[in-house]
Amino acid sequence: MQYKKEEVRNAILEQAENEFLEKGFEKASIRSIAKSAGTTIGNFYNYFSSKEAIFDALVEAEYTKFVYFINHHNDIERPDYLWDSLDLDLCRKVLRDLINDFLPMFTDRLLLLVECSKGTKYENARELLHGYIKEHFIEHMEEHNSNYMMKTSFPSLVARQFLDGIVIILKDYKDMDERRNLIAEHILFYFIGTMGLLGHHN
């Protein structure tokens, strides 16, 4: 059967994703990827110049979207009264819509970034994402309650737990609807906790 070029490229990407998730970037093999995709090593290089190039093709969108989501989610349209109402059903709806808008951010390819990227230019992605979340958390605290005296280690702890929770959901749940629901609940948990700190701190 003669495959269209786009079908071959997609097959290579799919098998590369599986290979990287199973073995990590450093132990992944172009030979194995090409064989699983039903093509040759020579043909692999017609689509991707290197193992690094195909890894980049897999994760670039997830990395860019995650960073944009953290840095710009305040600019996204949402009901003005959302933060004051703490209507959980409304919060869930807004969060689920937001997550849908920002796919492909919450996919297995985010796992590639934070779990399987050693040896690539993304190998510090977990720490970079953790840093973005930490700074974002500090900004929210300072914006809404400048008198809140934060222990130096607390924002870092929250950021690590938040990112680790996302990773656990992606690892343990493969159904996309279930992932979206769990990620919405995860974000809501941290949102309510933050609002509680800001509203009840003396």
pLDDT, tens digit (0-9, with 9 covering 90-100), for 158-186: 889 999 999 999 999 999 889 888 988 88
Least confident of 45-54, 71-80, 139-148: 71-80
Least confident of 47-61, 107-121, 178-192: 178-192
H helices, E strands: number in the chain:
10, 0
pTM of the model: 0.79
In which band, very low, low, confident or very high, does the pLDDT at 4 lie, cut at 50, 70 and 90? low
Q: What is the distance between the alpha carbons of residues 56 and 22, in angstroms, rounded to a whole number? A: 17
Taking CB atoms within 8 Å and a gap of at least 24, the contacts of 120-127 are 120/25, 120/52, 120/55, 120/56, 121/52, 121/56, 122/55, 122/59, 122/63, 125/59, 125/63, 126/163
In which band, very low, low, confident or very high, does the pLDDT at 189 lie, cut at 50, 70 and 90? confident
Q: What is the distance between the alpha carbons of residues 39 and 50, in angstroms, rounded to a whole number? A: 15
pLDDT tens digits along 124-156: 999 988 998 888 888 777 766 655 555 567 888
Q: Mean pLDDT across the chain, nearest whole number?
A: 82
C-alpha torsion sign, points 170, 72, 160, 184: negative
